[in-house]
Amino acid sequence: MKKLLTVLLALAMAFTMVFATAASAEDGYKDSITWVIGNDQDILDPQNNVSNSKVIPQYYNGLLGYDNDGNVVCKIAESYEASEDKMTWTFHLRQDVYFHSGRHCTAHDFEATFDRLLNTENPQRYTSNASFIDTAVATDDYTFVITLKEPKAFFLQAIAKQWAFVLNPEYIEKYGADLGKTAESVDGTGPFKCTQWDKGEVMKFEAFENYYEGAPLTHEIVMKIVPEQTSRAIAVETAQADIADGVSPDDAVRLDALDGVTVSKTDGNGCHLFQFNCASDHAPMSIPAVRQAICYAIDRNAICEYLYSGLGETPIDSIMAPSVAGYSSVGVVPYDPEKAKQLLAEAGYPDGFDLTIMTTAVYNRGVEMAEIIAEELKEIGINAKLEVVERAVFSSAWASFTPDEFNEKFGWDMFIMGSGGDSDADTLLKRILHSADTNVNNYGFYNNAEVDELLEKGAVTMDETERNAIYARIAQITLYEDPFGAYMNLRKNVYALSDKIENFAVNSSNTMDLAHVRCRE
């Protein structure tokens, strides 16, 4: 009898497997999608990741998030309300949320997450972003209350960012500073689990079947690191990949004309710039007139036309993209080499000087852009030496150095950066412009007392018209009067796709909705 039951069970299992295979074939969609991308993540810890917004939201989420149109929406919080003075915010959590490890997510997990984030004695990279929070406590299993030190104009936008995503307290305890450095140390509540991470090579996302919004449509996403833009384009063209991230302008034009491939180009909220090292011990970068001269010596329209016309990218007319709350146009910095020469002479450098510009292929056409800028600076007497670095060197430069340490280790007077990824001016600008010692994201050691004061004022100004005027003034100062950097081009979110891809969507922060994407066989 026992043998008969064993045989029947084996037959039943075989039938199930055949049926499942037939159902999959009839379904007509691939179980695995291959996505090629130029750069890996630095760390899979939401409170410390600086790479981009492409991966972390696949593994983690928080009280709130952003939809595909960039709107703030409820995620783990199913509802919330604020006190009349907007100083206390109460979030009511869903009761069907689980971590990938199986742990049931409650408000106490959020409390542990914020305890880690708000610990100024052992700060995380984004601790300063949460400096407006006084307390964050669980009042019961499914109620989480945040009280503020002062009114916060963009509170909902801020709390929807990835630095506020919930962490498993057991993993905080177990891994400490190593949380997010390996696939094993990643335990979020997002739509995908991290099942493999061979740094610099491949990362695998597996659908989380117990995801509270429903399991993703595709079982597995394989993200392969392919640094060369042309190789990524060829991978989609030859069906070795289904999605290619960040293809070059030339490849975008070429691929768009092919059968079997489509190119997605949507407005992003980021830009390229060459940031100034205002504490340089080599070049006179502390002098505003010198930085003004450099900005006027650059022909942004010509550079964008030459390098980025295939993507439709244009010069930026502010220090933030139009999609960012608080944006105001203050005009593209004009190309005026004669004014640049005059400013250099007034600053005491009529014959120019030498400087070093760091650039990297991490950014689309970043090397070519720096080469053109160096040629243009020659016209006003500045001899620019280029230093092209790999991703590892680039990432290592943003490790909370003092000015002396930065100058000794790197010695760059200007360096390429991407700015963006945030939906509100306060979150975007305070972390890169404010001169507070705790602001580890002010990589160029910028220091302007009026800007600091305006940043503080903008963060608590609730009237939209008044608030926009504050950020317009900041843009005027940091583009024209006391330049923070040479701002260049607005960036598009560019992807080459197999025409078999369905439901592809990406928001302005360049976060793909991988949970709903699928690919026909």
Q: Model confidence over 226-260: pLDDT tens digits?
A: 999 999 999 999 999 999 998 999 999 999 999 99
pLDDT at position 24 = 40
> CA 457, CA 450: separation in Å to the nearest integer?
10
pLDDT at position 402 = 93
Q: Which residues contact 181 (CB under 8 A, 6 or more apart)?
A: 43, 44, 45, 175
pLDDT at position 427 = 85
DSSP states of 428-490 as a string? Answer: HHHHHH---TT-TT-TT----HHHHHHHHHHHH---HHHHHHHHHHHHHIIIIIS-SEEEEEE
Query: Residue 410's pLDDT band (boundaries 50, 70, 90)?
Result: very high
pLDDT at position 9 = 38
Q: What's the per-residue H, E or C state across 347-391?
A: CCCCCCCEEEEEEECCCCCHHHHHHHHHHHHHCCCCEEEEEEECH
Q: What's the per-residue H, E or C state across 255-309?
A: HHCCCCEEEEEEEEEEEEEEEECCCCCCCCCCCHHHHHHHHHCCCHHHHHHHHHH
pLDDT, the chain, mean: 92
Q: Model confidence over 174-228: pLDDT tens digits?
A: 999 999 999 999 999 999 999 999 999 999 999 999 999 999 999 999 999 999 9
Q: Where are the domains of the chain?
A: 67-169, 176-267+493-520, 269-492
Q: What is the dihedral of CA 262, 268, 274, 277, to 10 degrees?
A: -140
DSSP states of 36-64 as a string? Answer: EES---S-S-TTT--S-SSSHHHH---SE
Superfamily of domain 176-267+493-520 in the CATH hierarchy: Periplasmic binding protein-like II (3.40.190.10)
Q: Residue 6: is its pLDDT beyond 50?
A: no
> CA 491, CA 316: separation in Å to the nearest integer?
9
Q: Are 439 and 447 in contact (CB under 8 A)?
A: no
CATH topology of domain 67-169: Dipeptide-binding Protein; domain 1 (3.90.76)
Q: What are phi and psi of 51, to 5 degrees?
A: -65, -60
Which residues share a beta bridge with 385? 356
Structural tokens at position 371: 């080469």
Q: Residue 21: is its pLDDT beyond 70?
A: no
Q: Which residues contact 431 (CB under 8 A, 6 or more apart)?
A: 126, 128, 129, 439, 441, 442
> CA 245, CA 466: separation in Å to the nearest integer?
39
> CA 170, CA 112: separation in Å to the nearest integer?
10
Which residues share a beta bridge with 418? 272
Q: Residue 51: is its pLDDT beyond 90?
A: no
Q: Model confidence over 264-297: pLDDT tens digits?
A: 999 988 999 999 999 999 899 999 999 999 999 9
Residue 505, Cβ neighbours under 10 Å: how many? Answer: 15
Structural tokens at position 63: 């009280």
What is the H or E stretch that residue 338 is in? helix 337-346
CATH topology of domain 269-492: Dipeptide-binding Protein; domain 3 (3.10.105)
pLDDT at position 14 = 38
pLDDT at position 438 = 67
Q: Model confidence over 497-517: pLDDT tens digits?
A: 999 999 999 998 889 999 999
Q: Report the share of the chain in percent with pLDDT over 90.
A: 84
> CA 399, CA 371: separation in Å to the nearest integer?
27
Structural tokens at position 42: 């630095």
Query: Residue 1's pLDDT band (boundaries 50, 70, 90)?
Result: very low
Name residue 426's amino acid: D
> CA 488, CA 351: separation in Å to the nearest integer?
25
Q: Residue 48: is its pLDDT beyond 90?
A: yes
> Which stretches of 170-245 are assigned E, i.e. beta strand?
192-198, 202-207, 220-225, 243-245
Task: Return the higher-pLDDT residue of 439 and 489.
Answer: 489
Q: Are 98 and 210 in contact (CB under 8 A)?
A: yes
Reference 53, options 137, 149, 135, 161; nearest CA is 161
Query: Residue 3's pLDDT band (boundaries 50, 70, 90)?
Result: very low
Q: Model confidence over 105-152: pLDDT tens digits?
A: 999 999 999 999 999 999 998 998 898 999 999 999 999 999 999 888
Residue 48, Cβ neighbours under 10 Å: how many? Answer: 17
Q: Model confidence over 416-475: pLDDT tens digits?
A: 999 987 788 998 999 899 998 766 789 999 999 999 999 999 999 999 999 999 999 999
Query: Residue 50's pLDDT band (boundaries 50, 70, 90)?
Result: confident
Query: Residue 153's pLDDT band (boundaries 50, 70, 90)?
Result: confident
Distances (CA, A) of 170 to 187, 300, 387, 405: 10, 50, 43, 35
What is the H or E stretch that residue 231 is in? helix 229-237
